[in-house]
Structure 1
Amino acid sequence: MRTRLIVVFLVPLIAILLSLGGAAGWSAARSIQQAVYTEQIGDLSYFATTARQALRSDTATVFEGEARRFEEVYGIRVAVYDLAGAVWASSDADPPVLDEDEAEQVRLALSGRRPEAPDAVFPWIVPDSVLVEPVFDDGDVIGAVLISAEVDAPRTAILQQLLILTAIALVSIALGVLLVVGLARWVLSPVRRLDEAMAAIERGEMDARVSEDTGPPELRRMTRVFNGMAEEIEKVLARQQEFALNASHELRNPLNALLLRVEHLATGLGDEWRDDVEETREEGRRMARILETLLGLARSGRADSLFSAVDLATLVQRRVDAWSEVAGPRGVRFRRTGENLVMCVTDRTIVESALDAVIDNAVKFSPPGSEVEVDVTGDEVAGVIAVRDRGPGLTADQLEHAVDRFWRGAEAGDVPGTGLGLAIATDLLASIGGELRVTAPDDGGLRVSLVVENGAFE
C-alpha cells in the first residue's frame, strides 16, 4: 500500500516537473534564438545601408574594410552580391561557395524579398545562421547583403540553460521523493499499527491497542474507534469465558454426583441391566469429556483438539444406539449403512458433539414412523458421515441459510428448537478442519454430511 501511495503521488509530480522543465527549456532556447536573430537583423540593416552607398559609388574598398574588421571582432562573415548573383564584395579574401539553401536565399533577396524569422529549432540542428537582405536604391534592388554566423555562442548559452533547468528538475524530483515518502510514512503509520494490532488480536492478544497521537485526523478518529471496539470485544470475551468457566464448574459437581449414583444403583441390579448401566456410564464419561473441552476453551480462549485414531463406523453405531432410545417413542427408526471400518485421526469429542447436533435435528423433523438413514464412508483423506431424514426438507433458497445461527424454516412450526444445531455442528467441524454440507434430495427430506478431515494426512 505504501508503494502504491508513493507511485500515485510521485508520478504526477514528476510528470508536472518534466512538463514545466521542458516548456522552460524550449522557451529559453527560443528566447536566445530571438535575441541572436534581432542582433543579426540590426547588423544586416547597417551593412545594407553601407552596401547601398558602396554600390552607388561602385567602390567596395570602404565596405570591405568594415566587413573584415566586423568578422575579426565578431566572427560573422559579410558579403555583397550584385544583381547577377556574383560576389561583389566580401569580408573574406576568398569567399566560400554558397550551398543550395544559401544560394536560394540570395536569389529571393535579389528579387526583393526580405528575410523571414527563422523557425524555432535548436541551434545544433543547423551548422550556422544565414540571413540575406536586399539592397534598395530608390525602390529598385541593386544587390543583396549576406550575413553568415556560426551558432557556437547561442548553442553554448542554450546548453547552459538546459543544464541549469535539468539540475533544478532533478533537485525538485529528489525533494518531491523525500516529501512523498515522508507523507506516505506519516499517513500509513497508523494504518500499519492498526494492522499489527488486529493481527495481535487475531492471535489472542486481546490487550493490543494503537496510539492515537499520530497520523491524519481522520485516521486518529479511526484509531479511537478501533481501540474502543477492541475494549468492547475484550469485555465480551471475558464475560463469555467467565460464564463458560462458571457453567462448567457448576455442571461438573452434579455430573460427578450422578455418576456416583449410577454406580451405587448398579450394585443392586441384576446382570440383565448390565448393558444399560454401561451405556449410562459411557454417556456420563462423554459428558465429562465435553465439560473438560469447555473448561479448556474457557481458560485459554481456544479449544485444544485431542487428535487420536477413531473408528467413525463404531462411533456412529454408538450414537445411533443412544439416540434410538430417544427416537423410539415417536416411532422414528435408524438404519445404519456404509462401511464397517472407517479409521480417521481426529477429535472424538468434537465429532460426537457435531453428530449429536445433526441427529437431534433429523429426529425432531422426521415424521412419526419414518426412518433416518446414517451412512459412513471414507478414504485416506477424510471420512464422511451422512444423516438423511424424511422430513419436510428445505428449498434451494433456504439451504443457503440452513447453517446460520438462530435461523429456522417456515416448516419448523411448533417443533422445539433454537436454530443453533447445524450452526454449532458447522463451527465444531471447522475447528478440526472439517465441514458440514447440507443438501436436499429430490425425493424429499434433508441430507446433512459431516466431512471429517483425516489429521494424519494434513
Structure 2
Amino acid sequence: MRRRLVVVFLVPLVAILLSLGGATAWSATRSIQQAFYTEQLGDLGYFVTSARQALRSGSATVIDAEVARFHEVYGIDVIVFDLSGGVWSARDGGGEVLSEDDAARVGLALSGRRAEAPEPVFPWIAAESSLVEPVFDDGDVIGAVMLSADVEAPRTQILQQILVLTVVSIVSIGLGVLLVFQLARWVLSPVRRLDEAMIAIERGEMDARVAEDTGPPELRRMTRVFNGMADEIERVMTRQQEFALNASHELRNPLNALLLRVEHLSTGLGADWKDDVEETREEGRRMARILETLLGLARGGRADTMISAVDLTTLAARRADAWSEVASQRRVRMLSTGVGPVMSITDRTIVESALDAVIDNAVKFSPAESAVEVDAHRSGGLCVLTVRDHGPGLTREEAANAADRFWRSDDSGGVPGSGLGLAIATDLLESIGGELRVDTPDDGGLLVSLMLPDGAEG
C-alpha cells in the first residue's frame, strides 16, 4: 500500500517538475537567442550605414578599417558586397568561399529582401550565425552587408542555464521524493499501528490498542472503530474465560463426589463387577483430565498438553469399547479393527476427545444393524485413526464442508445435533499438529481420518 501511495504522489510531482523545468529551459534558450539576434541586428544596421557611404564614395578604405577593427575587438566578420555580388570590403580581402546558404542569403539581399529572424535551434546544432541586409540608396539596392558571428558565447550561456535548471530540477525532485515519503509515512502510520495491534491481538495480547490522535481524520475514525472492536472482543473473551473457569470448577466437585461414590459402591460389589468398576474409574479419570485441559485453556488461552507415547491401536479399542453401550441402544455395533501397535508422540486426552467427537457423529447417523469400524494404522509417514460408518454419507461437495462449524447436511432429518462435532475435532487436532480428513467411500457411508504425527513403534 505504501508503494502505491508513493507512486500516486510521486509520478505527478515528477511530471510537473520536469514539465516546468523543460519549459523554463526552453524559455531561457529563446531569450538568449533573441538577445543575440537583436545585438547582431544593431551591429548590422551600423555597418549598413557605413557601407552606404563607402559605396556612394567608391572608396572602401574607411569601411575596411572598421571591419578589421570590429573583428579584432569582437571576433565578428563583416563582408560588404557590391551590386554584382562581388566582395567589395572584407577583413581578409574576401578570400573565403561562401556556403550555399550564405550565398543564397546574399542573393536575396541583393534582390531587395531584408533579413528574416532565424528559426530557434538547439545551441549545439549551429556553430555560426549569419545575417545579410541589403544596402539601399534612394530606394535602389546598391549592395549588401553580411555579418557572421560565432555562437560560442550564447551557446555557453544557454548550456549554463540548462545546467543550473537541471541541478535545480534534480534537487526539487529529491526534495519532492523526500516529502512524498514523509507524507506517505504520516498517512500510513495509523495503518501500520493498526496492523501491529492486530498481530498483537492474534498473539493473545488482548489489551493492544492504537492511539487515536495521529493521522488523517478518516484513518482516525477507523482507529476508533478498531479500538471499539478490540474492547468488545476483549470483553467477550473475558466472559468466555470466566464461564469456562466457573463451569470447569463447578464440575470438578460433582465429578470428585461421583468418583468417591463409585469407590464406595465398589466395596460392596462382587468380583464379577470388577471390570465395570474399572471402566467407570477410567472414564472418571478421563473426564478429570478433560476438565484440567479446559481449565488450562480458560486460564492462559491454551491447554497444557501432556505429550507422551500413545499406542493408537489400544486407544481406539478402548474408545470403541466405551461407546459400545451407547451404540447398542441404537442397534449399532462398534468394531475395533486395528492390528499391532501404532505409536504416536501426542497428547492422549486431546486425541481421545477428538476421536469421541467423530465416533459420536458416526453412531448418530448409522442405521440399525450396521457397524462403526474404528481402526489405527500408519500411512505416508503419519499415524492415522479412522472411523468408518455405513450411514447415508455425503456428497464430495458436502464432505468438503463437513468440518465447518454449525454445518449440517440437508439429509440429517430429525437427528439431534449442533453441527460442531467434526469442527471441534478439527480444532483439537490442529492444536497438536494433526489434521482431520472427511472422505466419501464408493460403497456409501463416511470415512473420517484423524492424521497424527508418527512415532517409534513399541
Normalised TM-score (structure 2)? 0.92
| Aligned partners of 2:79 and 2:94 also within 8 Å | no
Stretch moving more, 428-437 or 158-167: 158-167
| Aligned partners of 1:380 and 1:454 also within 8 Å | no
In structure 2, distance between residues paired with 1:311 and 1:85: 119
2:208 pairs with 1:216: no
| Aligned partners of 2:343 and 2:455 also within 8 Å | no
In structure 1, distance between residues paired with 2:136 and 2:282: 129
In structure 1, distance between residues paired with 2:313 and 2:104: 107
| Aligned partners of 2:317 and 2:374 also within 8 Å | no
In structure 1, distance between residues paired with 2:115 and 2:216: 63
Stretch moving more, 171-180 or 304-313: 171-180
The residue aligned with 1:122 is 122
The residue aligned with 1:378 is 378
Instruction: Return the offset for 1:354.
Output: 0.6
The residue aligned with 2:230 is 230
The residue aligned with 1:337 is 337
Residues 241-294 of structure 1: per-residue CA shift (max 9 Å, x gap)? 110011111111111111111112222222222221111111111111100000
1:137-152 matched pairs, under 5 angstroms: 142-152=142-152
Stretch moving more, 259-268 or 400-409: 400-409
Secondary structure of the structure 1 residue equivalent to 2:401: coil
The residue aligned with 2:257 is 257
Secondary structure of the structure 2 residue equivalent to 1:123: coil
Secondary structure of the structure 2 residue equivalent to 1:377: strand
1:52-91 matched pairs, under 5 angstroms: 52-82=52-82, 85-91=85-91
In structure 2, distance between residues paired with 1:446 and 1:281: 32
Instruction: Return the offset for 1:10.
Output: 2.3
1:373-412 matched pairs, under 5 angstroms: 373-379=373-379, 381-412=381-412
Give the number of equivalent residue pairs.
Answer: 456
Instruction: Return the offset for 1:100.
Output: 5.0
Residues 304-325 of structure 1: per-residue CA shift (max 9 Å, x gap)? 3222111111111111111111
In structure 2, distance between residues paired with 1:453 and 1:34: 87
The residue aligned with 1:154 is 154
| Aligned partners of 2:87 and 2:94 also within 8 Å | no
The residue aligned with 2:327 is 327
In structure 2, distance between residues paired with 1:316 and 1:279: 15
- Code of the residue aligned with 1:371 in structure 2: it is A
Instruction: Return the offset for 1:438.
Output: 1.5
| Aligned partners of 2:309 and 2:343 also within 8 Å | yes
Secondary structure of the structure 2 residue equivalent to 1:335: strand
Instruction: Return the offset for 1:144.
Output: 3.1
Secondary structure of the structure 2 residue equivalent to 1:159: helix
In structure 2, distance between residues paired with 1:94 and 1:238: 106
Secondary structure of the structure 2 residue equivalent to 1:212: coil
| Aligned partners of 2:307 and 2:345 also within 8 Å | yes
The sequence identity of aligned pairs, in percent, is 73
Instruction: Return the offset for 1:369.
Output: 0.5
Residues 61-110 of structure 1: per-residue CA shift (max 9 Å, x gap)? 23323333433443321002345544220144575443454445445545
Relative distance call for 1:107 and 1:357 in structure 2 (3 A) is same
1:224-303 matched pairs, under 5 angstroms: 224-303=224-303
Relative distance call for 1:354 and 1:78 in structure 2 (3 A) is same
In structure 2, distance between residues paired with 1:102 and 1:112: 16
Instruction: Return the offset for 1:134.
Output: 3.9
| Aligned partners of 2:372 and 2:387 also within 8 Å | yes
In structure 1, distance between residues paired with 2:123 and 2:61: 34
Q: Structure 1 stretches of 5 or more lacking a match?
A: none
Instruction: Return the offset for 1:216.
Output: 0.6
Secondary structure of the structure 2 residue equivalent to 1:322: helix
Secondary structure of the structure 1 residue equivalent to 2:341: coil
In structure 2, distance between residues paired with 1:101 and 1:309: 102
Secondary structure of the structure 1 residue equivalent to 2:374: strand
Secondary structure of the structure 2 residue equivalent to 1:125: coil
Stretch moving more, 437-446 or 274-283: 437-446
Instruction: Return the offset for 1:209.
Output: 1.1
Instruction: Return the offset for 1:344.
Output: 1.1
| Aligned partners of 2:70 and 2:76 also within 8 Å | yes
- Code of the residue aligned with 1:183 in structure 2: it is L
RMSD (Å) for aligned C-alpha atoms: 2.4
2:419 pairs with 1:419: yes
1:145-224 matched pairs, under 5 angstroms: 145-224=145-224
Stretch moving more, 41-50 or 282-291: 41-50
Stretch moving more, 370-379 or 259-268: 370-379
| Aligned partners of 1:332 and 1:366 also within 8 Å | yes
Secondary structure of the structure 2 residue equivalent to 1:185: helix
Relative distance call for 1:302 and 1:380 in structure 2 (3 A) is same
Residues 384-441 of structure 1: per-residue CA shift (max 9 Å, x gap)? 2221211122233433432222222221111111111111111111111222112222
Secondary structure of the structure 2 residue equivalent to 1:412: coil
Relative distance call for 1:418 and 1:321 in structure 2 (3 A) is same
Secondary structure of the structure 1 residue equivalent to 2:325: helix
